[in-house]
Structure 1
């Protein structure tokens, strides 16, 4: 099954919101362990109105993956980076995991980051997703708490072709 990556628009917000919620509820179940206090906080800002504003902001760049599913074009993944280099969203429909969707989304995001002259991307990742990002060159710098209360991994990656290879620390010390 094929898919395509394109820039997101505010019109994608309802489908993207549904995808985010499905991905968090089901794909990230190991991370939130169905704890209502974590899950509801994580989902709290995932509304069509908020997603539309994120996609419409000139300081963000969002991409979606879409595929034909049973004769209908559906969103199967999305990613968003801001001009500060924060990878704020990277979610794939659980049915499409391990089909190259996440890698293609990140490739598009990293291309935009280079166009904005961003040298490093950074993010908070649930523990279950961190190995995926690490396979793609992101460095796990340890645990941090996300704004919705979940303990996450802080990951980063140099995306500028002139940047030195990724190391576990931001400084140049040898520890």
Structure 2
């Protein structure tokens, strides 16, 4: 199984929108507890137009994982080192897609000079991040009303080297 990671394009927005909505609805039941109000709030901004704008925003590094020509995962990293969005297709969970995508996110963060990556994790994803070296920092309530765990990982020193050429 060959997982390719590439920069997200605005024309990926429709496929990514479908992946996000399926992943949240099907995989994050521990978080939304099948509460229609929480689920509606969580999915409310997940439109192809919004997603395309997130990809176009220069403040973000937006990546997709592809498997057999279809999008298998999505990650958005801010230049400050916060993982703003990270989801894997429900059909492809536990097959290495998330692990490979997270490795690329961390590599990109290190390339920006980021020393610590942070993520507001769902309860569902908490074990995934813990297994990748992330530690709990605090809990919070997300904008859509679900509990989130703010987690962080200090990157190895050789990872966060900023380009000396100004790039």
Whether TM exceeds 0.5 here: the answer is yes
| Structure possessing the higher relative contact order (Cα contacts under 8 Å, 6 or more residues apart) | 2
C-alpha contact (below 8 Å) 1:117/1:160 kept by paired residues: no
Q: After TM superposition, which residue ranges in structure 1, 4 or more long, deviate above 3 angstroms?
A: none
Following the alignment from structure 1 to structure 2, what is the Cα–Cα distance between the partners of residues 7 and 67? 14
RMSD: 1.4
Following the alignment from structure 1 to structure 2, what is the Cα–Cα distance between the partners of residues 89 and 152? 13
Residue 84 of structure 1: CA displacement?
1.8
Partner of 1:17: 17
C-alpha contact (below 8 Å) 1:83/1:116 kept by paired residues: yes
Partner of 1:28: 28
Secondary structure in 1 matching 2:45: coil
TM-score using structure 1 length: 0.86
C-alpha contact (below 8 Å) 2:3/2:100 kept by paired residues: no
Unaligned runs of 5+ in 2: 160-167
Partner of 1:85: 81
Tell whether 2:139 aligns with 1:139.
Answer: no
Partner of 1:42: 42
TM-score using structure 2 length: 0.90
The count of residues paired between Structure 1 and Structure 2 equals 159
Following the alignment from structure 1 to structure 2, what is the Cα–Cα distance between the partners of residues 162 and 7? 23
Secondary structure in 2 matching 1:110: helix
Secondary structure in 2 matching 1:20: helix
